[in-house]
Amino acid sequence: MSYTVLARKWRPRSFAEMTGQEHVLRALSNALDSGRLHHAFLFTGTRGVGKTTVARILAKCLNCERGVTSQPCGECSSCREIDTGRNPDVLEVDAASQSKVDETRELLDNVPYAPAKSRFKVYLIDEVHMLSTASFNALLKTLEEPPPHVKFLLATTDPQKLPPTVLSRCLQFNLKNLSVSLIAARLKFILEAEQMPFEPAALQLLAAAGDGSLRDALSLLDQLLAFGGGRADEAGARVMLGTVDREQVQRLAELLASGELAPLMSYAQTLEDWSPDYERMLVDLAGLLERVALVQALPEYVGDELYPVELLRSLAQRFDAADVQLYYQTALLGRRDLQLAPDPRSGFRMTLLRMLVFRPAGVVPGGPEGGAGNRAGVARAASPVAAGSKAAATAPTVAGATPRAASTGGDLDWPTVLASLDLSGMAKQLAQHCSYLGRSGAVVRLALDARMNGVATAAQIDKLSQALSGYLGETVRVAFEKAAAPAVSPARQRELDAENQQTEARTAFAGDPGVLALQQQFGATIHADSVRPLDKD
C-alpha cells in the first residue's frame, strides 16, 4: 500500500489553506481581483515556507476555467490538472537539474506559441538562482518583452545570486519563516483531521525543531508517527529530537532559584548519564527563564503547552526579577561559548557556575525569600573569586564582564566610557553621537544627536546596552531622552574642535607676514578652503 507523506498530502490548494504569509497572499489576491497582473513574479524565502506552493496556487488562479480569480474553484479540469502536475500549459522546471543554456533555450523556444488549452502559459522555475550566466542571459530577453499569454513564476532560496537585471523585471515577494505557534497549530489541525493521538507539548517541540519551515516540521511529524507507532507524544519527540526532558530543565531552574551551588553542580553531574545536548539544554533553560520573566512582568500571561502557568508562577515567586535577566543572559552567552570550551560538559557547568557566583555584591539568590543559609551559600561560592582582590569582592559583575566599581547612579565621564567600550560599526557611531544625561537605577539616560536618529535601531541600542553592562559590571539598559539644555556629544565636540582649529588656522595664515607681503607685492589671494591646521602630532 502506497503512503503519501504529510507534506504532500496536506499541501495547500488555495490561498485560504495557506499557513501564514498574509502579506504575500493579500498582495496577490488584490492583483488578481483587480486584473493588475505582472508578467514575472519572484518568490524568495528559506526552505519549506511555501514558495512553490504559492506559485502553483497562483497558476491555478490564472488559468481557472471560471476566470482569473484569487479563489480558484479547484474543480474544473484546469485546476485538477495543475494540482496533479498534468497541465500542458504549466511547465514546472527545477533549475538545479536543468541549468544549462541549451536546456533553457529549448524551454523558451515555445514561449511565442499560444497555450494549448489554458488562458496563460505559465513557466514555474524553482531554485532559479541555479541557472548559469548564459541561461540567465537567455531568460532575460524573454523577461524584457514577454508575450501577453506568458507568465513567469520564479522561486529561490538565494535571491542574491540572481542578476540585478532579472530582479528588476520581477515583482519580488519575500516569504517569512513561520512562527512556532503557526506551525504547531497546523500540525494540530492535520493530526486531528487524520484522527491520530498527540500531545500538544510534542507539537511544540516539532514546531521549534522545524526552525521556521513547515515542511521540515511535517517531515519530523512523519518521523515521530513512525517512531511512536502512530502516536505523537512528548516523550517520543524528545527521544527522537535528542532533547532533554522538561522536568530536568525545571529542576535546574529550581536549583538556581535556591541559590545553593553544591546541589546545582551535583545535579549537573547526574545529567551526564543522559548524554544530553548541552547547547539544547541551555536553549531550553533560557526558554523557561523567558517565560518566568513574562509572568513577573505580565501577570495575565497564561503559559503554554510546555510549561503550565502554575509552574511559572511558582518559579516567578522564588526568583528575583533581576536574577532572571542575569541568568537568561548568561545562558545565551554560555551557549555561544560552548564551542570554545574544552568540552561541552565543562562549558555547561561553567555557565551554571557563572549564574550563581558572578552577581552584584549583596544580592541574595532567590530574591527576598532567600534566608541566612542562602547568604552563606553565596559567600562560600564566591570566596575563591574574592580571595585575590578586595575590589572583586565588592564589585557587581555579570557573566563575562570585568569587575568595576559599582555605579550608584552618579555622573559618568562619557568620553572616557566610550574609549573603553567594546563597540564597532554602527553601534560605535551611535555611542559617539550620544551625550550623557544621568542614571536612574538600571537605566542609563542619554541624549542623541538628531542627525543619528536613523542609526538608533533596536539592534544597535541593544549592543550599546550590552557594552555598557560589561563596562559597569551590572545589567543596564539605554534610554534616549530629549535634553533640557543643548547637549554636546563626543562626536559633535570633535566637530566643534575641528571647526575652531580651522578658524584659528585661517586667521593665523591670513596674518602671516609672508602671506601679507605676497598679497601686497603680487596681488595674491587666499583660497580659504586650501588652508588646513597643522597636525599637532
The angle formed by the CA atoms of residues 3, 7 and 8, to the nearest 5 degrees, is 60
Do 128 and 265 belong to one domain? no
The CATH number given to whatever domain includes residue 108 is 3.40.50.300
Query: Cα(8)–Cα(215) distance, rounded to whole angstroms?
Result: 9
Q: Which of 394, 424, 452 is the last residue before a domain boundary?
A: 394
193, 215, 241 - which closes a domain: 241
List pLDDT tens digits, range 448-496: 887 777 778 888 888 899 889 888 888 888 888 875 555 667 767 777 7
pTM of the model: 0.55
Phi and psi at residue 197, in whole multiples of 5°?
Answer: -70, 145
- In this prediction, residue 1 carries a pLDDT of 53
Please count the other Cβ atoms lying within 10 Å of the Cβ belonging to residue 297.
Answer: 11
* 536 in a structural domain: no
Are the CB atoms for 474 and 522 separated by under 8 Å? no
Please answer whether residues 244 and 276 qualify as being in contact, where contact means their C-beta atoms are separated by less than 8 angstroms.
yes
Domain boundary among 223, 241, 259: 241
Whether residue 303 is predicted with pLDDT greater than 80 in this model: the reply is no
Residue 402 lies in a domain: no
Alpha helices (H) in 232-274, listed in sequence order:
234-241, 246-258, 261-270
Distance CA 225, CA 228 (A): 5
CATH code, domain with 434: 3.30.300.150
The 3-state DSSP class for residue 477 equals strand
Angle at 360 between CA 359 and CA 364, to 5 degrees: 80
Domain that holds residue 509: 501-530
Q: What percent of the chain has pLDDT over 70?
A: 87
The pairing of strands 434-440 and 443-448 is: antiparallel
CA Rg value for the chain: 32
Domain count, the chain: 5
Average pLDDT of the segment spanning 286-305: 86
Q: Determine the average pLDDT of the residues in 115-132.
A: 89
CA separation for the pair 198, 313 (Å, rounded): 26
Q: Does residue 490 lie in a domain region?
A: no
Q: Are residues 134 and 224 in the same domain?
A: no
Give the domain CATH number at 310. 1.20.272.10
Specify the pLDDT at position 293.
92
Q: What is the pLDDT of residue 134?
A: 83
**Confidence band for 54, pLDDT divided at 50, 70 and 90:** very high
Q: Which grid cell is 47?
A: 526552505
> Quick one: 69 and 99 in the same domain?
yes
My answer on whether 262 and 382 are in the same domain is: yes
Q: For residue 493, is it within any domain?
A: no
Q: What residues does 446 pair with on adjacent strands? A: 436, 480
In a domain, 494, yes or no: no
Q: Are residues 220 and 252 in the same domain?
A: no
Co-location of 62 and 140 in the same domain: yes
Highest-confidence range of 34-48, 233-247, 382-396, by mean pLDDT? 34-48
Sign for the pseudo-dihedral over CA of 299, 300, 305, 308: positive
Q: Which grid coordinates are listed for 393?
A: 569582592
In this structure, are 153 and 189 located in the same domain?
A: no
In a domain, 230, yes or no: yes
SS3 479: strand
Asked if residue 199 and residue 126 are part of one domain, the reply reads: no
Taking the mean position of all CA atoms in its chain, how far away is CA 125? 29
Query: Are 425 and 288 members of one domain?
Result: no
Backbone angles phi, psi at 68, to 5 degrees: -65, 125
45 and 151 within one domain: yes
Specify the pLDDT at position 399. 38
Residues 325 and 388 both lie in one domain = yes
In a domain, 487, yes or no: no
Residue 304 falls inside a structural domain:
yes
Q: Do both 301 and 213 map to the same domain? A: no
Q: Average pLDDT of 315-336?
A: 90
439 Cα distance to chain centroid? 30
Residue 339 has pLDDT above 90, yes or no: no
Cβ-proximal residues to 393 (8 Å cutoff; 6+ apart), any chain = 361, 382, 385, 386
Average pLDDT score over residue span 114-143? 87
Quick check: 300 pLDDT over 70? yes
- CATH code of 221's domain: 1.10.8.60
**Cβ proximity of 360 and 295 under 8 Å:** no
CB 452 within 8 A of CB 394: no
